[in-house]
Chain A
C-alpha cells in the first residue's frame, strides 16, 4: 500500500502537465506548495478522528502506562509504587495460568484456523461455479462467532447431554461433557475459533484468484505433482496474504473475551481453564478494583503483541515474497 499517491498535492497533476517539474515538492523548492486553507480544511475534516485519537487512544495509552506503576483503586488517588505491579505479576500463579492458556490459544489455535481457511479456500478455488454461495455460508460464523449467543450455544452443544457428545458416543467415544473438564476447555475454544475460519478464507480466496495459471502450467511441465505445486507455487505466491492473516488473526486471538467470559460464567473456571488474559485483566480491574495492576497487565499485553508483530515482520523477509520481486 503506498501512501504517496494519495497524498500528492492537488496541484500535482496540473503541475505535471504544465511547465513546472512534477517533483518540485520532493526536491525541496522554497515555493510554498500547500495553500493555507488546505491545512485548515484538513484539520476541520479530521477533527472528530483527531479528538478520538488524542482523547480515547493516545491519552489513555499514556495514562495506563503511568497507572501501571501505581496502586490505584479508583477511589483514592493513584499511589506510585514503581515496579511493584511487575514483581507481583511475576509471583501471581493466576497471571501465569492466564498467560499460558492465552499463548496456547494464540499459537496453536491460529495456525489451525488459518490452515483450515487455506484448505477450504483452495477447495473453493477448484470450481468457479457456485463459490459465491459457499463463500458466504462459510463466512457467516466469522460475523457472529464472538457473540454471546454463540458462546451460549457452544456451551450447550459441548455439555454432557449436548449434540457433540451425542455424536461422539455413536463412535464409542465418551467425553463426559466438555464444559466441566478443564483439559477439554482449550480444544473446545480452539474449535470455536476454527469454526470462524471464513474471514481469513475469503482473503485467501481473493489471493488465490491472483495466482497466474501460467505458474501452475510451468510447474506441470517441469513434472511437479500437486503437493510440489502447493509448496513451490501456491505458498510463495500467497505468502503476503498468509502474513497479513497471521498478523491480524493472532492479534485478534489475544483479545478473546466474550466467549471465554460467557463459557466460564465470568469466573475463569473450571480450574482457570477459561481465565484468558483479557478475562483476568477485566477481573483484576473491575471486580477487584486493582486498576494499577490491571494497567500493568494491559501494557504487558501491548508489549507481547508488539514483540509478536516485530518477530513476524522481521522473519517475513525470509518467507514473504511479493509478486514482481526478484528473488
Chain B
C-alpha cells in the first residue's frame, strides 16, 4: 500500500541521444556529497536521537546527591542504589509484581492477537463469503477510528459485566481482533502466498480449518512474529487502558506504577523514578534489538504505526 513499485514503463522525457551520454546509473547528486561529511552528519544525528536513552541510563546511575549539582553527563560516583531502592516497590507492592502484571497482560495480548487476527485474516483473504467486501472495508475503516470515541461505552459495558478492576477489559479486545493493523498485516501476507497449495489441499479433501492450520499458519510465521512483538510492546506500553480499568495497585502494570513513582517521589527521589523508567523500557529495547528487522520491515511494508 505504501511502497511505490518502481515502474520501468514510466515515461522519461528525454531523447534517446542524450540518454546514451548519461553514463553509468548513478544519481549525480551523490558525487557532490563527500562520504566523510555524510558519515559525520549521520553519526551526529544518531547521537542526538539516542541521547535521551543514554541520558536516562546515565541518570539512573547517579546518586541523588548529584542531581542538581552534577550537570555533567556521567555520574561522578556511579551506583546501583537507585535500582536496589526501586525494586523494593511502592505503596506496599513489590516492584516484581508490576512486572508480572505487565507480563501477564503482554502474553495475553500476544496469544489473543495471534489467534483472532490470523483467523480474521484467513477469512478475508481466502474464503469467499457473502458480505466479505463490505466487512473488509469496515475493518479498514477502523484503522482510522480514534480510540477515544469508544472508551466511554466500552467502560460502561465492562462495568455492567462486573469486570472493572480485572484484566479482562484489557484482554477482551485482543481476543476479538479489534486492532485492525494486525488483521491487515496478515491479510497482506496471506495474499502473497500461492493459492496452489490451498487448491492441492482441497483436492486432498481438506476443509478450511485444516488448510488454515496446516498450510496458512506455518507460512505466515514472519507476519505472526511481527504481530506478536508489536502486540506485546503496545500492551507493555499501554497507559490509557489500565488507567481506565484497574483500581487496585496490586493489579497495576508498569505504566501505572511508574505514574505513582512519578507523582509521589519525583521531587524527592529523582533517581528512583528514572531507574524504574529504565527498567520498564528494558524488555522493550531487548525485544527491539533482537527482532529489529521484523519490526522495521513490518513498518516499511505495511505502514504500521510505531
Asked if A244 and B306 sit within 8 Å, CB to CB, the answer is no
> Which DSSP category, helix, strand, loop or mixed, fits chain B's interface?
helix
The answer to whether B97 has its CB under 8 Å from any CB of chain A is no
The answer to whether B53 has its CB under 8 Å from any CB of chain A is yes
Q: Taking A153-B56, A218-B14 as contacts, is the C-beta distance between A295 and B300 under 8 angstroms?
A: no
Q: A64-B153, A126-B29, A221-B18 are in contact. List 4 more A-B contacts (CB 8 A).
A: A39-B130, A46-B120, A67-B153, A217-B27
Q: List 30 A-B contacts (CB under 8 A).
A: A38-B128, A39-B130, A45-B120, A46-B120, A49-B177, A49-B183, A50-B135, A60-B152, A123-B45, A126-B29, A126-B30, A132-B293, A144-B285, A148-B254, A166-B71, A195-B49, A203-B299, A206-B300, A215-B10, A215-B12, A221-B18, A240-B4, A241-B3, A244-B1, A254-B146, A258-B239, A261-B239, A282-B151, A298-B148, A299-B149
Question: Within residues 195 to 219 of chain A, which ones have a CB less than 8 A from any CB in chain B?
Answer: 195-196, 198-199, 202-203, 205-207, 209-218
Closest to A249 in B: B305
List of A residues within 8 angstroms of B300 by Cβ: 202-203, 205-206
Question: Within residues 267 to 296 of chain B, which ones have a CB less than 8 A from any CB in chain A?
Answer: 270, 273-274, 277-278, 280-281, 284-285, 288, 292-293, 295-296
List of B residues within 8 angstroms of A74 by Cβ: 156, 159
List of A residues within 8 angstroms of B4 by Cβ: 207, 210-211, 237-238, 240-241, 322-323
Question: Within residues 210 to 245 of chain A, which ones have a CB less than 8 A from any CB in chain B?
Answer: 210-218, 220-222, 226, 229, 237-238, 240-241, 244-245
Q: Taking A139-B295, A166-B71, A244-B303 as contacts, is the C-beta distance between A207 and B3 under 8 angstroms?
A: yes
Distance in angstroms between the alpha carbons of A229 and B159 in the assembled complex? 58
Asked if A34 and B25 sit within 8 Å, CB to CB, the answer is no
Asked if A48 and B296 sit within 8 Å, CB to CB, the answer is no
Q: Taking A52-B173, A244-B2 as contacts, is the C-beta distance between A137 and B49 under 8 angstroms?
A: yes
Q: Kindly specify which of A82-90, A92-100, A155-163 makes contact with the partner chain.
A: A155-163
The answer to whether A104 has its CB under 8 Å from any CB of chain B is no
Contact for B152 among A48, A64, A205, A258, CB less than 8 A:
A64
Q: Taking A1-B1, A202-B296 as contacts, is the C-beta distance between A6 and B124 under 8 angstroms?
A: yes
Asked if A13 and B22 sit within 8 Å, CB to CB, the answer is no
Interface centre among A53, A74, A166 (most CB of B within 10 A): A53
List of B residues within 8 angstroms of A7 by Cβ: 128, 132-133, 136
Asked if B285 and A148 sit within 8 Å, CB to CB, the answer is no
Distance in angstroms between the alpha carbons of A18 and B9 in the assembled complex? 32
Per CB-CB distance, the 8 closest pairs between chain A and chain B, nearest first, are A52-B176, A42-B129, A142-B306, A60-B153, A199-B306, A45-B123, A49-B120, A149-B277
Closest to A14 in B: B199
Asked if A140 and B135 sit within 8 Å, CB to CB, the answer is no
Q: Kindly specify which of B81-89, B103-111, B218-226, B255-263 makes contact with the partner chain.
A: B255-263
Asked if A9 and B128 sit within 8 Å, CB to CB, the answer is yes
Closest Cβ–Cβ distance, residue A38 to chain B (whole Å): 6
Please report B residues at the A interface, Cβ cutoff 8 Å.
1-10, 12-14, 18-19, 21-22, 25-30, 32-33, 35, 38, 41-42, 45-46, 49-50, 52-53, 55-56, 59, 67-68, 71, 73, 115-117, 119-120, 122-130, 132-133, 135-139, 142, 144-157, 159, 172-173, 175-178, 183, 187, 191, 195, 198-199, 202, 207-209, 212, 233, 237, 239-240, 243-244, 254-255, 258-259, 262-263, 266, 270, 273-274, 277-278, 280-281, 284-285, 288, 292-293, 295-296, 299-301, 303-306
Closest to B5 in A: A210
The answer to whether A59 has its CB under 8 Å from any CB of chain B is yes
Closest Cβ–Cβ distance, residue B290 to chain A (whole Å): 11
Distance in angstroms between the alpha carbons of A100 and B66 in the assembled complex? 39
Asked if B153 and A195 sit within 8 Å, CB to CB, the answer is no
The answer to whether A189 has its CB under 8 Å from any CB of chain B is no
Contact for A217 among B3, B22, B46, B139, CB less than 8 A:
B22
List of B residues within 8 angstroms of A127 by Cβ: 35, 38
List of B residues within 8 angstroms of A147 by Cβ: 237, 239, 255, 280-281, 284
Distance in angstroms between the alpha carbons of A205 and B183 in the assembled complex? 24
Q: Taking A302-B149, A323-B4 as contacts, is the C-beta distance between A144 and B284 under 8 angstroms?
A: yes
Distance in angstroms between the alpha carbons of A273 and B32 in the assembled complex? 45
List of B residues within 8 angstroms of A120 by Cβ: 45
Q: Taking A48-B175, A241-B2 as contacts, is the C-beta distance between A229 and B29 under 8 angstroms?
A: yes
Distance in angstroms between the alpha carbons of A52 and B120 in the assembled complex? 11
Closest Cβ–Cβ distance, residue A10 to chain B (whole Å): 6
Distance in angstroms between the alpha carbons of A309 and B30 in the assembled complex? 37
Asked if A123 and B53 sit within 8 Å, CB to CB, the answer is no
